[in-house]
Amino acid sequence: MEIIKKQLDNLLHHVSLRPNSHGLCKIKEEENILFLHTLFYPCIDDGIEYLLNNNFQEIIEVVNACLKFDDQDFATLFMNFEHRTVFMIITKLTLHLLSNLNSLKVLEYDHLYNIGLLTIKIMHNKHIYDFQKTEFYDIFFRYRFQSNNLTECLLQLIQNITDSLLIQIICLWLDIVVHYQHVVRKQQNDLDHNYFEPRKIISECVIKQIYNLPNDLRLRGSFLFYLTYIPYDHINKNEKLASICYQYILSQIKNLNEWTSDTIHCLMGSVCFITKHFSQHFKYDEEYDESLLFIVSYEHFHKALVSTWTNDETIIIHTIIEYFYTNLDDNNEKMIIILDTTIDKLHKLYENVKDNLIKMNICYLILVSTHEGCHVSDEIILKSFQYIRNQRRITWNGDIEMGEADKFLRALKKVSHYDSIKNAIIRLDKINELVDLINTDFDIIDDSLVLQSKKRVAEKTLQKVPRNKVVLSCSNTELAIQVKRHLEKFHYNILILNQCNNDMEKENLISTCKCMIVCLTDDYSEYQSELILAHKNQVITIPIVIENEKKYCPNEPFLKFILEKYSSSLIRKNINELNDSLADEIKDIQSTRRRTLLNSFKANSSSGIEFSPSITYTYTAEDLYKSCKENDINKVKEYLQNINIKILNERIWNRSTALHIASYNGHNEIVQLLLKAGASRTIRNSP
């Protein structure tokens, strides 16, 4: 490390001794002039010229050494104000080399390739602040040599590919353009300069060359990668190109052990292109899904995984997992069945993946595809609870929003019915956390609470909590079917009492149901025995008055009693006004009643319910703040294990949060820990 620092200082010293006829290095941008932080150094162009003529070999030694550093050590070098200037000179040097690519020596090809690898290393380094990377590469992509910027230079090379030796260099630097747009600029197309002007021309040229050079797999992979993340309009209508990608992916599954680096690169581009632009087109294609899972299960790829998109294997695995996470829903039974066959492989993949977001996506896929006979590791269950907890957002008025956690809650509800998962949740002491979640989403978790009750007395009391089935009592079968259709938006198991085979079956349904929805019409009096039975069994009842022209006024005393008892939650609907909003109205009513029931569980200490003690937090926001200020990483880790999201984002007396003080003092590792734990980036510490 010290040797490289001296080399960087030496390079900078030689450059600074060059006569500067240009003054400061300026880049014009509309009304403003951006200064590259070289106020005391000669122009970058002079530096590049000097290094090309005198110290090119020393530059390459620096580049090769930097490629061997781990990300944290390299970030220390890069974030040094003076060293970053040298890296800017080295990066801009590539445009000079690319512009003369046809006349370079073979050894210089290697040098240019290694500078490209270093460029990707910088872009993906998580220890370098995003704003520094954005500033650095925005300036680079604006830079011009012989009137061309990088993308325009690449366009000329793509149009005139004559030598196969050049292809690897062109592919790498075309990939770098994609990494810049996807990783550094986060898909924002607001960079208002010539970098974006040739985008449509390059895309059209790239598509043409894909057809002209069908056998050059590396080139096709880079071209498809480019079209994925820097497309021009209407690329998602190019079904011919999507079909080429689709057929290539399917054709390679048989020869998996014979894949070359070019094969993998082309596979990467094909998977990315389909996932980004044609995901819905192949969503229900079983053969395609099986092919993707076959790739995901390839353990050779698992060993190559890194934390960022710095190799093709990582990009492929991450993209496939994102494809399944995005497209998997309750209606796609075929995809769930296919995933079920690879649960063990998904567990192994989870252990090898380095990226936290992809890890959580794998957790979700495992939960959704699990069935009674499957094994789910304790770590998957714990990570799911942690993710749900971290995703709960406290709003300005104190309410909690669930966001992405909803998907995990629904998956958790499903697996909680299986004995193995139920026992694991009890063993991991997560019952209190489930109770806490009820305050956020009753309908997701109430069944789980019943299943996970450890004490007999508690189980007896919790039988009052609604179960799975929702029954519908209605005098008219056609009307019942119409109401059921609208309710199925929310209620997953609606049973119409009219369709029971006998009274015994009907009585059993009512006594064991989650709740009963009653459609009260003028001719309902003949069916009020169903309502009476529900009332005796203390079944939650939601009456819907179906009216036409005149107001519903029953003569029977019991029906009058029901209307009065449930007046606050009564729903009145004209038969022609029935729509899906009915399900939301019922959901609101159920949530209110369950919240009341839960509060009674917590408040009634004499009921015999023996839950574990409620979660209490002994650490305060002040404790966390102090440890972040003092850069005490071990204490911060301990606190994050034992506080909730509210404490994490709480402002202390000076209106600052733990994230504020850690960022202010430059404690980067603690900043990353806080962000991973769910610290808010948007809370301000000013009035």
Q: Which of 313-322, 605-614, 649-658 has the highest mean pLDDT?
A: 313-322
Ramachandran class of 450: left when φ > 0, alpha when ψ lies in -120 to 50, beta otherwise: alpha
Kindly indicate the confidence band of residue 85, based on its pLDDT and cuts at 50, 70 and 90. Answer: confident
pLDDT exceeds cutoff 50 at 153: yes
pLDDT, tens digit (0-9, with 9 covering 90-100), for 122-132: 888 888 888 88
Output the pLDDT for position 492: 52
Choose between 293 and 109: higher pLDDT.
293
pLDDT, tens digit (0-9, with 9 covering 90-100), for 400-455: 555 677 778 778 877 877 778 877 877 777 766 766 665 544 444 444 444 444 43
Kindly indicate the confidence band of residue 359, based on its pLDDT and cuts at 50, 70 and 90. Answer: very high
Predicted structure pTM score: 0.59
Kindly indicate the confidence band of residue 29, based on its pLDDT and cuts at 50, 70 and 90. Answer: very low
Please tell me the distance from the alpha carbon of residue 249 to that of residue 144, in angstroms, as a whole number. 39
Torsion angle, CA of 305/311/315/317, rounded to 10 degrees?
A: -30
Report yes or no: 237 and 256 within 8 Å, Cβ to Cβ: no
Output the pLDDT for position 488: 67
pLDDT exceeds cutoff 60 at 32: no
For the record, the structure tokens of 361 come out as 């996506």
The mean pLDDT of 369-385, rounded to a whole number, is 85
pLDDT, tens digit (0-9, with 9 covering 90-100), for 489-532: 555 568 889 888 888 888 888 877 778 889 888 888 888 888 88
Please tell me the distance from the alpha carbon of residue 208 to that of residue 595, in angstroms, as a whole number. 62
Output the pLDDT for position 597: 54
The residues, ordered by sequence, that sit 6+ positions from 70 with a Cβ below 8 Å of its Cβ are: none
pLDDT, tens digit (0-9, with 9 covering 90-100), for 193-247: 444 455 667 777 888 878 877 777 888 888 888 888 876 667 777 888 899 999 9
Place of tokens 């020393």: 58
Structural domains of the chain sorted by starting position, each given as residue range(s) with its CATH number in brackets: 2-197 (no CATH), 287-369 (no CATH), 385-452 (no CATH), 470-607 (3.40.50.300), 621-676 (1.25.40.20)
Helix (H) or strand (E) holding 122: helix 106-123
Output the pLDDT for position 595: 59
The mean pLDDT of 320-341, rounded to a whole number, is 81
pLDDT exceeds cutoff 90 at 679: no
Output the pLDDT for position 639: 85
Cα 582 to the chain's mean position, in Å? 32
Please tell me the distance from the alpha carbon of residue 336 to that of residue 414, in angstroms, as a whole number. 13
Choose between 58 and 320: higher pLDDT.
320
Which DSSP category does 496 fall into?
E
Choose between 551 and 399: higher pLDDT.
551
The mean pLDDT of 326-348, rounded to a whole number, is 81
Output the pLDDT for position 509: 84
For the record, the structure tokens of 484 come out as 């059921």
Whole-number mean pLDDT of the chain? Answer: 75
Output the pLDDT for position 447: 45
Characterize the bridge pairing of strands 393-394 and 494-496.
unpaired
Output the pLDDT for position 37: 39
pLDDT exceeds cutoff 70 at 617: no
Please tell me the distance from the alpha carbon of residue 397 to that of residue 243, in angstroms, as a whole number. 50
Choose between 574 and 243: higher pLDDT.
243
Please tell me the distance from the alpha carbon of residue 443 to that of residue 463, in angstroms, as a whole number. 15
Kindly indicate the confidence band of residue 21, based on its pLDDT and cuts at 50, 70 and 90. Answer: very low
The mean pLDDT of 291-311, rounded to a whole number, is 87
Which amino acid is located at 586 in the chain?
I
Output the pLDDT for position 22: 37
Which amino acid is located at 566 in the chain?
Y
Output the pLDDT for position 627: 92
Output the pLDDT for position 401: 54
Which amino acid is located at 369 in the chain?
S
The mean pLDDT of 92-108, rounded to a whole number, is 79
Output the pLDDT for position 319: 93
Please tell me the distance from the alpha carbon of residue 517 to that of residue 571, in angstroms, as a whole number. 11
Output the pLDDT for position 449: 47
HSE at residue 623, side-chain half, CA atoms within 13 A, is 15
